[in-house]
Structure 1
């Protein structure tokens, strides 16, 4: 995709070392705890599939599937998500950078419309809120 789309990047610094943040994203049990997800399966390698059922406020269950396109342990995770009606998956990039005992996390995506971008940015902020709470309680 060219750079003409609608994109966002959210950066937060979390009070946890990189290894712990990486494990939260790549360990199915941990991911389910903070991402409001059930039935989580993560095959974290390039080409590996992932799936989960997201439980959204109000109790609705949304099945999600996709595959990893890039995996650099403790640094970068690029995940594709299958979207009904689209030929290509929507990619989300997670970048991690150590900052002492803390970790700088950046989530980014590019979309065809501002509406899609705004919706996903809101969802990514909710994910990071859940991750922040999980790491703070761990």
Structure 2
């Protein structure tokens, strides 16, 4: 399910999925470097994560056409197995792009994930939503093979 809305601060999107995995497995996949690299289309060995408020992360992502681009950022909120607020550094901007990931147990083997982000323009929102859709697809496939 995807919802879109225009806020007074920018353009936002929210993506929601039900994943066939326990909350702890989803959290671990999103916050541990090696599994994250496997499902997020990152260059192997490029992911570093210090998952705590104020902790930094970095990864080099691979685009569908084979290009590579480095990403960096930090964590502003970490509530294990429930909520992760991630900032991503954006060249030329003073403030990071902020993505919120929320997890909720649906059953012992199902997790509801909600990912939301607000962007400055409709174009930025569309690109961010496309990237997040790819991330959720990769996470879904990874969790199917990991369980």
TM-score by length of 2: 0.91
Select the residue among 40, 47, 52 that pairs with 2:59: 52
1:98 positional shift: 0.2
Of 111-120 and 15-24, deviating more is 111-120
Residue in 2 that maps onto 1:108: 116
CA RMSD of aligned residues (A): 0.9
Answering whether residue 33 of structure 2 is matched by residue 33 of structure 1, we say: no
Q: Distance in 2 between matches of 1:97 and 1:3?
A: 28
Unaligned runs of 5+ in 2: 1-6
SS in 2 for 1:67: strand
Q: Distance in 1 between matches of 2:111 and 2:31?
A: 16
Select the residue among 132, 136, 145 that pairs with 1:128: 136
1:4 positional shift: 3.2
Q: Distance in 2 between matches of 1:41 and 1:4?
A: 31
4+ residue stretches of structure 1 with deviation over 6 A? none
SS in 2 for 1:9: strand
Residue in 2 that maps onto 1:99: 106
Q: Distance in 1 between matches of 2:47 and 2:123?
A: 27
